[in-house]
Structure formats: C-alpha cells, structure tokens
Amino acid sequence: MRFLHLLMLASLLWLTGCATTGTPSETTTPTEPAAHTPLYPSGPLSPIATGAAGSMAVAGIDAPSDLWDRIRRGFAMPDLLGEQVADREQWYASRPDYMQRMTERSRKYLFHIVEELERRGMPTELALLPYIESAFNPQAVSSAKAAGMWQFMPATGTYFDLKQNAFRDDRRDVLASTRAALDYLQKLYGMFGDWHLALAAYNWGEGSVARAIAKNEKQGLGTTYPELNMPAETRMYVPKLQAVKNIVANPERFGADLPLIENHPYFQSVEITRDIDVSLVASLAGIREEDFRALNPSLHRPVILAAGMPQILLPWDNAQVFRRNLQAHSEGQYASWTVWSVPTNMSVSTAAQRAGMSEADLRQINGIPPRMMIKAGSALMVPRAATTRQDVSSHLADNGQIAFTPEVVTRRTTVRAGKRGETVASIAKRYKVSAADVADWNDVKTSSRFKAGEAVVMYLPVRLASTSLARTSSKQPAAKAGSRKAAKGGAAVRTATAAPRAAGKTRVRSR
C-alpha cells in the first residue's frame, strides 16, 4: 500500500512539471506581453567600495527616532568652512549650560517649524535659525526693536501681515511669525538663488546684499557670501548657524548633550469663538498661565479677543481637556475685560474713574507711562460689566492702539487786567482757557468784568506762564532793588506752585 502511495505522488509531480515547462502554445496564451526582459550581469560581480556605497542616495524607510534625527535628514544647504565656523563651534561647545537652556526652550516650537519647512521643501537647517536670532525666546527684543524668536523689525513685520497693536504683537506669535519668516526666506532665496546670501539678506537687508553684490561685480570680484564686504554681525551670521548645525549633526564630537525632543507635535491649535480671559483658558486647560503664555507669547493683555485671535495654542494633551471643560463651563461670561475707545483726550485719573478702576491698575494693565495723558481714540483695556454680552469688534481687535500726549503741568499765576478793564471771557480767550475756569479760579461769574489793573488768578501751563512773565517784565522799568527776584515780585504776572484753591480740580492739560 505504501508503495502505491509513493507511485501516485511521483505521477502527480511529473504532470506538474509538464504544465510549467511547456511552451506558450501548450498552455493558455497570455493576454498581454511581459513588461520587460530582465538583464543579468554577464561577468563576475565586483565588490562595492565604501566610498561608492556612501554616495548612494538610498531613502530610509524607518521613521526618525527623534526630532533631531529628522532635522539631520533634511540638511540640504552647502556647508560653510573656515576659521569663523570653528570659532563659533568652540564658543557654543564651551557653554553647555547656555546650549541646554536654548535647546530646552526650543522644545515647544521646533516640531512645528520642521513641519513647515518640509511642507515647503526648504532645508531643515533653517529650523535652527531662531537659535541664532533669539536663542528661541519669543519675548526677545533687540536694541533695534526687532521682536520675537524670528526677530522681525516693526516695518518688516507689517509688510508680512504681522499685526502689532495694543492687544497683541504677531511678531511673537509662534504660527504667524514662523509663516512670515519662511515666506521672507523663500523670497530672499528667489532673489539671490543662494541660501547663504538669503540668510545674509535676512540679517542685513536685501538692499544691502544686492548693493554689495553689484559693487563686487563692478570690480570683477566674486559674489559669494565669503567674498562680499559686509558688517561684522552679518559676516558671523552664517558661521553661527553652521556651527549650531555641526553640533546638531554630531553632538558627541563637541561633547554636547541635546535634550530629547520627540518627533511629535508639542501643541494643538484650538478655535476661540468668544472673548475669554487668559486665566480662564489656563484654568480650563489645566495648565499654568505662564505655560499658556509661552505658547501664545503675542498676547499683551489678560484677555483674548476672539475677533483678532480666533485660535490659541495649547499643549497637545491639554487641548482636549480645554475643549471638554469649555463646553461644560456654565457661566455666561467668559471675559472679564473689554476695550473702551477713549472719546477725548483725558488724564489717567479721569479715565480710571470712568472705567471704575484704580489709576494704578489702569496704568499697569495698559502700560501707561507716568506724566502722560491718554489721547482720544485710544483703545483701553477696562473691566467688562457683568451685563455686557457683546465681544470686541474685529476692527478694534485688529487695529486698536494706545496713544499718549505729555501732561502739561500748570502753575498758579497772577495776571493783571488791562488799563480799560477786561471781562472774564476776554482774559480766557487771551490765555486759551475756558471762561468757566477763569470764573471758578476767581470766584466770579462768567459774565463778570475785572477793573483796570485788577489781579486775576490763572492756572497756566508752565511754558505759557513763563512766556507771559517774560513779556510783562520786558515792559517794566529796571527793578529798584537791583535784583531779579525783586523784579519778579513787582511784575504784573506773579507765579507760584501753590496747589489750586478748589479741591479736586485737575491742573493737567494736554498740549
């Protein structure tokens, strides 16, 4: 029986061999020809040299282990060599504490920048540029008033649609400033066709680089980055970036300890549909307010105006917590602050009284400096009434500004009515004050008339009071006492710094 089974198995194998080795005419005809004929080497194979293997561009299929690995894989700019690069490598390598603080700070923002660079097909070295610009500090402000981690000047920020108003400065905004910086770098690369020159223009200005190139061309000189004549700061700009790139590429060589930054988003964007306090957002998200501001550094004030800032950034794991808690929030009012457009020039004390808050609090929350009045049209952050349901308009949220005018200190001044006498109105007109004030200062009616030579009390700006004094003194004979002080005492205009007689009177006016 066993022999019979073996014989049947052998027969089946023989029939199978016939089916697979026959010609096409003996089997089903193919419906389409083969795609190609494979080629095989005719001679013996030679081993691949190490150099040849290293030059092959083989795409890895494994995901980057961390964000540093991902950045290294995207390096695409030509390396800059030279003593300046070595000098900057030594500078960074000898400051491990500084490098640690700087790279730790970048943890919140680096993933988003790398994502944007890859989406645009730009070299990932550019993700390291904020290390050079601001040490990845979004609150950094230079002596030239450049702000944010990408260090935009006010005019350049405006050109790239970065709003700068009383409530926020988008030069510090993570998403907006990164978008603007990469837009600018792409524009510069399009102008110069070279990343090193584009970076020089980012630091020095495109016009300056263009003029330097034109000057070298006129003199028959080279026009690459190392060959141009430029300021010392720009000369060291690309070497700094190259040094950081080299440290990131090979941290062991420089003894650097880069913190682990996972290849995962640090934050999520969350939509905001109503004005809401910063403190409430932090509370609903379960984070500290300073951590919220680190991700939303453009905010100036304690409230988020939805019309101007319709989205905020929250840590990845806290975004859903915020959404859930916001939905469950039962209070009808999300914002305890609103914006008041000041109707006329007024003192800080008057504005504070109208807003129902202390002068110190009004100054602090709106950044009002001392000895300044608030100009008409200024957008002040003030407490929001519990019954108010209307949020700040988009126009005010995007364009609100605060403007000031110096306070004019007034001084108690005594003037004399003319030889024929004067009315309250005529004296008020002469000194550009209101007739009601003149009447109040002298306890008379606005329709009253002063006798010739009668003393009239006035509160005039110091500058105007001094001018009146000089004009009156020039008409008087020399002082009999032979002293300037005596001349002042006998003049028709007497000044003093005594407080106004009527309590509560404001003696500060705008120019």
Residue 510, φ and ψ in degrees, nearest 5:
-85, 155
What does the alpha-carbon distance between residue 447 and residue 441 come to, in Å, rounded to a whole number? 14
Burial of 227 (0-12, 13-18, 19+ CB in 10 A): exposed
Please state, as a whole number, how many other Cβ atoms lie within 10 Å of the Cβ of residue 213: 19
Amino acid 112 reads: H
For residue 463, what are the CA distances in angstroms to 468, 501, 509? 9, 21, 12
- Residue 217 annotated to the active site: no
Query: How would you label 17-46 residue by residue, b for 16+ Cβ within 10 Å and e otherwise?
Result: eeeeeeeeeeeeeeeeeeeeeeeeeeeeee
Instruction: Compute the distance between CA of residue 367 and CA of residue 390 in angstroms, rounded to an integer.
Output: 25
Instruction: Report the largest interatomic distance among the alpha carbons of the chain, rounded to a whole angstrom.
Output: 156
What gap in Å lies between CA 126 and CA 182, rounded to an integer?
9
418: left (phi over 0), alpha (psi -120 to 50) or beta: beta
Q: Which residues pair with 372 in a beta bridge?
A: 406
What gap in Å lies between CA 157 and CA 120, rounded to an integer? Answer: 21
Task: Find the helix packing angle between 174-192 and 206-218, rounded to 10°.
Answer: 20
| H or E element in which residue 399 lies | helix 394-399
CB burial of residue 155 (10 Å; 0-12, 13-18, 19+): exposed
Q: Which of 26, 32, 89, 133 is catalytic?
A: 133
Is residue 134 within 8 A of residue 177, CB to CB? The reply is: no
Cα–Cα distance, 400 to 393 (Å, whole number) = 10
Residues 6+ apart with CB under 8 A from 346: 354, 373, 374
Q: Which residues are catalytic?
A: 133
